[in-house]
């Protein structure tokens, strides 16, 4: 990473995010992903609860989209295997037909 950022780039990036400017400039150390207690040695994850909720939401959304795509693919393959001449039932009535509206 660059140790210095010119004023023009700093101003452009500052419009987006102040923390981004500080990170690129090198003045902010990235927080470690995992913490380890010096006394007991317990490890913990340094992640905000909002991030965990967003990750769960994205995972559930992705699962729904993948399931929907698989279902559509399955139904399309079943429809392509069906015979092309599908007989209509004996009584076939068109909903909203002109003849029905006139009567």
pLDDT per residue as tens digits for the range 9-37:
667 767 777 676 666 666 656 667 777 77
Q: Domain spans of the chain?
A: 46-82
pLDDT at residue 74, rounded to an integer:
94
pTM score, two decimals?
0.43
Mapping DSSP onto H, E and C, the string for the chain reads: CCCCCCHHHHHHHHHHCHHHHHHHHCCCCCCCCEEECCCCCCEEECCCHHHHHHHHHHHHHHHHHHHHHHHHHHHHHHHHHCCCCCCCCCCCCCCCCHHHHHC
């Amino acid at each position: 990473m660059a140790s210095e950022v010119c004023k023009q780039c700093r101003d452009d990036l500052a419009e987006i995010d102040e923390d981004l400017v500080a990170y690129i400039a090198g003045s902010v150390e990235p927080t470690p992903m995992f913490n380890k207690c010096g006394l007991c040695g317990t490890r913990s994850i340094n992640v905000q609860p909002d991030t965990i909720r967003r990750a769960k939401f994205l995972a559930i959304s992705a699962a729904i989209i993948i399931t929907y795509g698989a279902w559509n693919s399955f139904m399309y393959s079943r429809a392509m295997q069906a015979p092309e001449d599908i007989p209509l039932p004996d009584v076939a009535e068109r909903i909203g037909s002109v003849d029905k509206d006139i009567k």
